[in-house]
Structure 1
């Protein structure tokens, strides 16, 4: 029986609040397991960068996705906008972020068979600062 790598998705990004140069937004991180065994993954530090500068980090806690199901996490992230610095990712009307998520874990079929599998995703997020909406979300 072949063990497949799980899929990670970053979806449903909403801008909640904008105060004093910081932007708070929520996002869904979904881990889809297509295997006939559960996927148990370790906690992970996810990074948000803009123009090569680290803007924020958040943790995806350890957990497990049951067989043929999807595990959903909701995260709240406060992104500081260093408008005084001259970085490429920050423009007056558009904030471009790059999110990188990497998960490692094991797929367990029975009490005997365990296989290590990892999943990763790189997303580019463009937030329009004048309307507080996500303009583009491109994931690979």
Structure 2
């Protein structure tokens, strides 16, 4: 007999593969894109962003409305609502949000200082996936993004979502 060239997989390989598949699945369910920044004359900054909820399931995902918080350095800057809705099977639901952010330090009445503004956006979407009109399964997706905005150029330098 010839020696076997196929090596059996260990249990650790299978568990790490399962974890990586779950991580990829979670990454595909949420997205925050197309952020525009406008400095306003009253010292605030207006953000327009596109929030996408991607559904890779073979059933529709019906989610509840949730409050999204924007913080800067641990200080609450603004809150906005992602309304309830549905994402069809294998499709993406897109929302456009407009948020006016006032100066988080409140020490400067002239507006934000030129430099870098770090914002953190957090929300947890909860809902149900409905398979073939019979089976319903609870699913949740957590959006946790860090946004670095260059205030002198009004551009987003970094956008990191987990």
- Partner residue in 1 for 2:102: 80
Q: Which TM-score applies when normalising by structure 1? A: 0.89
**Cα distance in 2 between the residues matched to 1:21 and 1:89:** 4
Q: 1:136 to 1:88 in 2, by over 3 A?
A: farther
Unaligned runs of 5+ in 2: 1-22
Per-residue Cα deviation, 1:39-83 (whole angstroms, up to 9, x for no partner): 000001000000000000000000000000000000000000134
Q: 1:101 to 1:82 in 2, by over 3 A?
A: closer
CA RMSD of aligned residues (A): 3.5
Q: 1:107 to 1:18 in 2, by over 3 A?
A: same
Equivalent pair of 1:21/1:82 in contact (CA under 8 Å): no
Query: If each structure's helix is expressed as a fraction of its own residues, which one has the higher value?
Result: 2
The number of residues matched between the two structures is 140
**Cα distance in 1 between the residues matched to 2:115 and 2:146:** 16
Deviation at 1:36, TM superposition (A): 0.7
Query: If each structure's strand is expressed as a fraction of its own residues, which one has the higher value?
Result: 1
Q: 1:39 to 1:3 in 2, by over 3 A?
A: farther
**Cα distance in 1 between the residues matched to 2:141 and 2:112:** 29
**Cα distance in 2 between the residues matched to 1:89 and 1:9:** 30
Unaligned runs of 5+ in 1: none
Greater relative contact order (Cα 8 A, min sep 6): structure 1 or 2?
Answer: 1
Q: 1:43 to 1:32 in 2, by over 3 A?
A: same
Q: Which TM-score applies when normalising by structure 2? A: 0.77
